């Protein structure tokens, strides 16, 4: 691993070196930018404290942030009236950043009481050479050939000895996995890791018998939104050499709102900015743009060349440089992926950690006398503090594997006492 990836604890994620551009082609200096960022970070911290303290004054993070920003900004910057409007516009950009972090359309959909349940891992992000595929390839080398099947969508998981398909006739396996191509697999246990978006879409048909009511309600209450990346490659960088993150500020967005009024006409306004991929020797001159919400979902319906055209116009406007022209674009389309229907989980208004625990509960639920642990649930949506992340997904996989191992470990006596 590279040195950056060996850093374990540096007391939180370090701040990125930013460049702030505005819609009139201006670049903001640290004297304008730093107070607004600090102000917003403090508000964000306060919104996380209700998880411990309770007593949240409004249901959502968005309502809290906007109301508090409006209430306190004038007081905070009374010595610096000239910059109030641009700083409010910056707060709008930072609200759009939060929509990407939470993977939600608007922060008004994110529950204030549970917001602090999410924990950020300390240290820098870890990126694998060759992407995540490199990690999978490495792990696969340790496994016997042909035990992992790809391109095998599961249509339905039949549990509690509901019979399906010729393969399982006469067997005593409690679970049968029925694939879309008609193939079936009999099993004692199955660990389900499909995204919450998929479960929401197929909640009535993915399991037979259907999911118990309490699980269904939790699936419906939990949030699953869209966040997409738009990669752009340039001949030459237009950003400063040390810049790690480019923010875009619309000078006319002085009223606090993290959604656009007309998605088709103005979707590009939701794109808050770009990460600079580093190091340049490895990636070239590549930026990664971020866009969340319905605006992001609409972006997915456009052709690559339409997106490229909009992003090019955006960059020309914000840099004041009419010659900027990305030479290549690549974007994700998570909302239209039929095996995802979005990006990742957030704790929506009206849902709590109990919903996450509910989703994670194996079937049959405890009060049943049937064969235990037939259907287990892992994946990012099932981790209370690391939902929406890879480490959350990993830990929940280990958690469910451990649950099965315990069932078969004689010391626990669990299997013998249950059979």
Give 127 or 414: the residue with its C-beta nearer to ligand FAD: 127
3-state secondary structure 225-243: ECEEEEEEEECCCCCCCCC
E-strand stretches of 106-188 = 154-158, 175-179, 184-187
Binding mask 142-181 for ligand FAD (x = CB under 6 A): -----------xx---------------------------
Q: Which segment (13-21, 293-301, 336-344, 405-413) binds ligand FAD by CB under 6 A?
A: 336-344
Question: What is the radius of gyration, based on Cα positions, of the chain?
Answer: 24
Nearest to 362 by CA among 400, 397, 316: 400
3-class DSSP state for residue 293?
helix
Determine, following the binding rule CB under 6 A, whether residue 380 of this chain makes contact with ligand FAD: yes
Alpha-helical segments (H) within 77-212: 84-102, 132-141, 196-201
Shortest Cβ contact with ligand FAD: which residue? 379
Give 324 or 360: the residue with its C-beta nearer to ligand FAD: 360
Rounded distance, CA 258 to CA 270, Å? 8
Identified binder of ligand FAD from the candidate list 21, 39, 118, 198, rule CB under 6 A? 198
Identified binder of ligand FAD from the candidate list 195, 223, 326, 362, rule CB under 6 A? 195
Please report the DSSP string for 326-377 in residue order. Answer: -SEEEE---TT-TTTSSSEEE-BTT--HHHHHHHH--BS-TT--S-S-SEEE
- Nearest distance, CB of residue 171 and ligand FAD, angstroms: 22
Nearest to 262 by CA among 298, 303, 315: 298
Rounded distance, CA 65 to CA 45, Å? 10
Helix axes 61-76, 84-102, angle to 10 degrees: 160
Determine, following the binding rule CB under 6 A, whether residue 390 of this chain makes contact with ligand FAD: yes
Q: Which segment (14-22, 34-42, 190-198, 302-310) binds ligand FAD by CB under 6 A?
A: 190-198
Give 132 or 408: the residue with its C-beta nearer to ligand FAD: 132
Q: What are residue 190's DSSP bridge partners?
A: 375
Q: Which segment (12-20, 167-175, 192-200, 234-242) binds ligand FAD by CB under 6 A?
A: 192-200
For residues 401, 7, 292, 40, the Cα torsion angle rounded to the nearest 10 degrees is 120
Determine, following the binding rule CB under 6 A, whether residue 122 of this chain makes contact with ligand FAD: no
Determine, following the binding rule CB under 6 A, whether residue 295 of this chain makes contact with ligand FAD: no
Judged by CB under 6 A, the chain residues 11 through 70 that form the site for ligand FAD are none
- Nearest distance, CB of residue 194 and ligand FAD, angstroms: 4
- Nearest distance, CB of residue 331 and ligand FAD, angstroms: 10
- Nearest distance, CB of residue 65 and ligand FAD, angstroms: 22
Determine, following the binding rule CB under 6 A, whether residue 93 of this chain makes contact with ligand FAD: no
Find out whether 331 and 230 touch, Cβ atoms under 8 Å: yes
- Nearest distance, CB of residue 378 and ligand FAD, angstroms: 7
What's the half-sphere exposure (Cβ side, CA atoms, 13 Å) at 382? 24
Nearest to 154 by CA among 174, 196, 184, 195: 184
Identified binder of ligand FAD from the candidate list 218, 340, 352, 358, rule CB under 6 A? 340
Identified binder of ligand FAD from the candidate list 22, 102, 106, 343, rule CB under 6 A? 343
Give 48 or 193: the residue with its C-beta nearer to ligand FAD: 193
- Nearest distance, CB of residue 344 and ligand FAD, angstroms: 5
Rounded distance, CA 164 to CA 156, Å? 10
- Nearest distance, CB of residue 95 and ligand FAD, angstroms: 18
Cis check: omega of the bond before 332, within 30 degrees of 0: no
Find out whether 103 and 346 touch, Cβ atoms under 8 Å: yes
Rounded distance, CA 178 to CA 151, Å? 14
# residues near ligand FAD by CB under 6 A: 23
Give 106 or 296: the residue with its C-beta nearer to ligand FAD: 296
Give 57 or 134: the residue with its C-beta nearer to ligand FAD: 134
Determine, following the binding rule CB under 6 A, whether residue 344 of this chain makes contact with ligand FAD: yes
Q: Which segment (34-42, 51-59, 88-96, 194-202) binds ligand FAD by CB under 6 A?
A: 194-202
Q: Which residue has the tokens 């998880």?
A: 51
Binding mask 223-262 for ligand FAD (x = CB under 6 A): ----xxx---------------------------------
For ligand FAD, the binding residues (CB under 6 A) are 125, 153-154, 193-195, 198, 227-229, 332, 334, 339-340, 343-344, 379-380, 388-391, 393
């Amino acid at each position: 691993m590279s040195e950056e990836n060996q850093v374990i604890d540096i007391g939180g994620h370090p701040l990125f070196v930013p460049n702030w551009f505005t819609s009139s082609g201006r670049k903001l200096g640290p004297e304008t930018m730093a107070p607004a960022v600090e102000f917003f970070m403090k508000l964000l911290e306060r919104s996380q404290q209700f998880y411990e303290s309770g007593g949240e004054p409004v249901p959502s993070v968005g309502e809290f942030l906007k109301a508090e920003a409006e209430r306190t900004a004038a007081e905070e910057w009374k010595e610096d009236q000239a910059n109030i409007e641009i700083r409010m516009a910056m707060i709008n950009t930072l609200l759009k950043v939060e929509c990407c972090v939470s993977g939600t359309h608007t922060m008004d959909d994110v529950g204030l009481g549970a917001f602090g349940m999410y924990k950020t891992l300390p240290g820098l992000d870890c990126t694998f050479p060759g992407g995540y595929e490199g990690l999978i390839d490495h792990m696969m080398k340790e496994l016997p050939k042909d035990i992992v099947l790809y391109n095998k969508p599961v249509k339905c998981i039949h549990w509690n000895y509901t019979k399906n398909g010729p393969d399982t006739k006469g067997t005593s396996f409690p679970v049968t996995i029925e694939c879309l191509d008609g193939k079936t697999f009999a099993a004692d246990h199955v660990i389900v890791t499909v995204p919450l978006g998929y479960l929401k879409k197929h909640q009535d048909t993915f399991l037979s018998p259907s999911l118990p009511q309490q699980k269904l309600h939790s699936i419906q209450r939990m949030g699953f939104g869209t966040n997409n990346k738009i990669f752009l490659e340039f001949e030459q960088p237009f950003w400063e050499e040390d810049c790690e993150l480019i923010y875009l500020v619309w000078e006319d967005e002085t009223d606090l709102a993290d959604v656009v009024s007309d998605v088709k006409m103005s979707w590009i306004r939701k794109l808050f900015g770009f990460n600079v991929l580093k190091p340049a020797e490895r990636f070239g001159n590549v930026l990664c743009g971020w866009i969340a919400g319905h605006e992001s979902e609409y972006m997915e319906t456009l052709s690559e060349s339409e997106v490229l055209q909009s992003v090019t116009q955006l960059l020309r406007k914000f840099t004041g440089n009419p010659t900027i022209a990305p030479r290549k674009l690549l974007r994700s389309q998570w909302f239209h992926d039929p095996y995802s229907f979005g990006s990742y989980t957030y704790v929506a208004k009206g849902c709590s950690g109990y919903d996450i625990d509910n989703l994670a509960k194996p079937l049959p639920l405890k009060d049943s006398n049937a064969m235990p642990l037939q259907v287990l649930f892992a994946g990012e949506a099932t981790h209370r503090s690391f939902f929406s992340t890879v480490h959350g997904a990993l830990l929940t996989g280990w958690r469910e594997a451990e649950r099965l191992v315990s069932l078969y470990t004689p010391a626990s006596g669990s299997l013998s006492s249950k059979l």
